[in-house]
Amino acid sequence: MRKILWLAIILTICTCFMTGCSLPKVTLFGDKQEPLKEYVLQGTGKGKVLVLSVDGTISSRAEKGVLQSRPSMVQQIVAYLKHAEQDPDIKALLLKVNSPGGTVTASDILYHEISAYKQRTGVKIIVAMMSVAASGGYYISLPADYIVAHPTTITGSIGVIFLRPGVSGLMEKAGLSVAVNKSGAQKDMGSPYRAPTEEEVVLFQELTDTMATRFMDLVMKHRKLSPEQKAQISTARVYLADQAKSLGLVDQVGYLDDAVAKAKELAGMETDAKVICYRRYKLEEDTIYNPAIQHQGGELESMLPILAPLNAAAEAGFYYIWPAAMGY
């Protein structure tokens, strides 16, 4: 019976990969969520540092699990920021970023929302980069007053990539074709069912370069790099923490405790100020290393990160992402 179940799961995965569809939604437990509650992780003094994690690929699409759907990362982060805005005791926001990036629009939305939250509240923002904070993960870090990278952080990848699937060769071998009626010569531009024309290749590159320019302009605005530093990061390569610091991309190489201490310092709080997080469910032995956004999922849902590269590869789009870490 177990072998039959796993065979059904594998067939579903393959079908979703080939068709570009999402996994079916099966709701067993309902969609109602517990309200956000505040939990103290450290400290007993006045003032609060809110720890908020950004984990995984940045997307504005709802996460459709095997057992139930969850709000998108964008929706959840914005909800947490709105909730935090109601508490005047929060003097600093510590963003714990562990992301290879994501779609261009989702990354830009989070950049905008974090910037707007900072402007409305006057709260100091500190970013603590964990394993990966590349491309869109770096993009959303730009509003920070201070960036701390873990000694083993991989960051950078400042640029844009346009990913599009192509199945025309496979279809020809299988004797398949797609009939298209279109109102303009480039209406099906980027279609996976045919190779792009030379003109379309140029157009796609222009779009990519324009979005990359926006990214670089924001980096220069927030980090104020020299022309030499700009020339180096324009290659869109990734860097280890020490290299990123020498290029001006981060302010300090350190640990999460260092980022917490810096948050309290910049916000003018005492060293025993509270460090808090928001959760919908209580976690036993809670620490700042736990994700700020907690999901309740079973064995099947735990497989979803493995499927992320398949879903991403099946959808064309512009990404602020480090492709090597897709599905991270």
Active site residues: 135, 187
Q: How far apart are CA 321 and CA 233, in angstroms?
A: 15
Amino acid at 220: M
What DSSP character marks residue 315? Answer: S
Q: Cβ(92)–Cβ(263) under 8 Å?
A: yes
What DSSP character marks residue 29? Answer: S
Cα dihedral sign for 50, 55, 58, 61? negative
Token readout for 143 is 């509003």
Question: Which residues neighbour 59 within 8 Å (Cβ) at sequence distance 6 or greater?
Answer: 72, 73, 74, 102, 103, 106
Amino acid at 240: L
| DSSP H helices in the chain | 2-19, 73-84, 104-121, 136-139, 168-174, 198-223, 227-233, 241-246, 256-266, 304-313
Closest C-alpha to 50, from 62, 61, 59, 42:
42
Q: Cβ(55)–Cβ(12) under 8 Å?
A: no
Distance of CA 224 to the CA centre of its chain: 24
Token readout for 261 is 């201490």
Q: Report CA dihedral (236, 241, 242, 243) to the nearest 10 degrees.
A: 0
Cα dihedral sign for 255, 258, 263, 264? positive
